[in-house]
Chains A and B, each alone.
Chain A
């Protein structure tokens, strides 16, 4: 079917920076971040919402970057792993992942960090089971998850004591 596609205007705040672009409506949020803005910390895995590698924050909550169109973030605030990392807000979590070998290839790590961050905001003392449940939407093919759960649990304990 012939269908003339009209580009749409996107005005969005990404990691604190105002961005304005004309884009194709079908462009996913994660493809926009990676290909247009060169923010390649968000990864493209399954492209249908199963793996969690494309996790980013939109208006403060985690979403799948592959299950949202870029144009749907018009007027919104997007935060990627680059923004979170530069802000220093998750340095302790990043260090705990490093210390405990909670990553090997690192493909899932940005999604793991952002998802764990949301969990720790909601719950300061999650059980190991609750950590596993919250991270259930993020696949890791290297670690077997045990070290990831260890890292999140350890950071929760340290943050509670501070």
Chain B
């Protein structure tokens, strides 16, 4: 299982990388951490003629807090986010999700931008960004533009980023006072792609939840925002009754599928189990 031959370029600026993308119009791929891209090359699911290694572009990496938001450079590696005190303080959901993203050796290389740009439906980060009203910063020939995370993931492995654009940063609002986050997933082996996963975020006043977000991953082609379940919980106290109502709403929100790892029915069951777990965790004193 070896990749088809390609040429290799390592630009030192975003401008230079964009120039190479434009020149090879659709036939080049951007290499960030490579932890999702290289498997697809090894399996020859993708056969670009040029690989543009952006690891030499220094200003694409790093975590900074500016005003009400946290800006994470696209090339920031998972391990940096996992160990960041700024992330733990201002975006606790990411800190909760990080240990479940693959394995230590992969988190040492993988980047947030790469994970988002790949848009794997079983990946944790796209769901986190959708739950947190994040913005994806994309740089292209026409300049820099921002896209809301919920509009970025179009369908299976398909995003709003054009072939000649590069994802350059992620902007996430700092967690507001009184808000809490929860994360859970079920996988056959810790760190593997989940059979079902969910993130929850909202304002918690005692056991009453408002401005509630519930976003699933690994249950469809993109992160799935469970709007009916969110409506069912809005302004409600978390108790057996409201949890059952939210679980019931998932029958409308999710169209689960069967694969090698579990059936559609089991996947729906997992979604309901996980919903109970994250709701309980969200309001835990």
Q: Which A residues form the contact surface with B (CB < 8 A)?
A: 1, 3, 5-6, 8, 24-26, 28, 31, 47-50, 52, 55, 61-64, 66-69, 71-72, 115, 118-119, 132-134, 136-138
* Residues of chain B within 8 A of A119, CB atoms compared: 104
A118 CA / B106 CA spacing, docked (Å): 13
> B191 touching A136 by the CB < 8 A rule?
yes
Minimum CB–CB distance for A113 against chain B, Å: 13
Q: Does B258 contact A (CB under 8 A)?
A: no
- Closest Cβ of chain A to B136, distance in Å, is 24
Can you give 17 contacting A-B residue pairs, CB < 8 Å? A1-B27, A1-B49, A25-B6, A26-B5, A26-B41, A28-B42, A49-B106, A52-B103, A55-B105, A62-B108, A64-B35, A64-B109, A67-B38, A115-B104, A115-B105, A133-B99, A137-B104
Q: Nearest Cβ in chain A — how far from B27, in angstroms?
A: 7
Residues in A with CB closer than 8 Å to B42 are 28, 47-48, 66
Chain B residues near A50 (CB-CB < 8 A): 192
CA distance A69 to B104 in the complex (A): 19
B8 in the interface, Cβ–Cβ < 8 Å? yes
Closest-CB distance, A135 to chain B (whole angstroms)? 9
Separation of A13 and B165 alpha carbons in the complex (Å): 34
Known A-B contacts A6-B7, A25-B7, A72-B55; the reply to A62 vs B105 at CB < 8 A is: yes
> Known: A25-B8, A137-B103. Is A68-B38 also a contact (CB below 8 A)?
yes
B:87-111 near A, CB below 8 Å: 99, 102-106, 108-109
Determine how close the nearest CB of chain A comes to the CB of B100; give it in whole angstroms: 10
Asked if B176 is at the interface of the complex by the 8 Å CB criterion, the answer is no
> Complex: how many Å from CA A143 to CA B134?
44
* Known contacts A5-B6, A24-B5, then 20 further A-B pairs from the complex at CB < 8 Å, ordered by chain A residue: A3-B7, A25-B8, A25-B51, A26-B4, A26-B6, A47-B1, A47-B42, A49-B35, A49-B39, A55-B105, A62-B108, A63-B109, A67-B39, A68-B38, A69-B8, A69-B34, A69-B38, A132-B190, A136-B103, A137-B104
A132 to B106, CA, bound (A): 16
- Known A8-B8, A25-B51; contact A62-B104, beta-carbon cutoff 8 A: yes
Segment 12-62 of B: residues with Cβ below 8 Å from A: 27, 31, 34-35, 38-39, 41-43, 49, 51, 53, 55
Q: Which of B144-182 contact A (CB under 8 A)?
A: none
Which of A49, A68, A115, A138 has the largest count of B CB atoms less than 10 A from its CB?
A49
Q: Tell me the count of chain B residues lying within 8 A, CB to CB, of chain A.
A: 34
A50 CB to closest chain B CB, in angstroms?
A: 8
- Asked if A26 and B103 sit within 8 Å, CB to CB, the answer is no
Contacts of A31 in B (CB 8 A): 2
A25-B51, A26-B2 known; A67-B106 Cβ under 8 A: yes
**B6–chain A nearest beta-carbon distance, Å:** 6
Most buried by B among A31, A63, A68, A138: A63
Set of chain B residues within 8 Å of A118, measured between Cβ atoms: 104
Interface residue B284 (Cβ < 8 Å from any Cβ of A): no
| CA A64 to CA B5, docked complex, whole Å | 20
Query: Which residues of chain A come closer than 8 Å to B108, judged between CB atoms?
Result: 61-63
A134 to B102, CA, bound (A): 10
Does B3 lie at the interface of the complex (its beta carbon under 8 Å from any beta carbon of A)? yes
Those of B58-85 within 8 Å (CB) of chain A: 79
A60 to chain B, nearest CB (A): 10
Interfacial chain A residues near B106, Cβ < 8 Å: 49, 64, 67, 137
Is A68 a contact of B34 with CB atoms below 8 Å?
Answer: yes
Q: Which 4 A-B pairs have the closest CB atoms?
A: A137-B103, A25-B8, A48-B39, A136-B190
Nearest B residue to A46 by beta-carbon distance?
B1
Chain A residues near B38 (CB-CB < 8 A): 28, 48-49, 66-69
- Chain A residue with the shortest CB-CB distance to B105: A62
CA distance A138 to B49 in the complex (A): 32
**Which residue on chain B has the smallest CB distance to residue A2?**
B49
A49 to B103, CA, bound (A): 9
- Given the complex, which residues of B lie within 8 Å of A136, measured CB to CB? 103, 189-191
Give, as a whole number of angstroms, the nearest-CB distance from B184 to chain A: 15
Q: Across the interface, do A48 and B6 meet the contact criterion of CB distance under 8 Å?
A: no
* A71 and B109 contact, Cβ closer than 8 Å, known pairs A66-B42, A115-B104, A137-B102: no
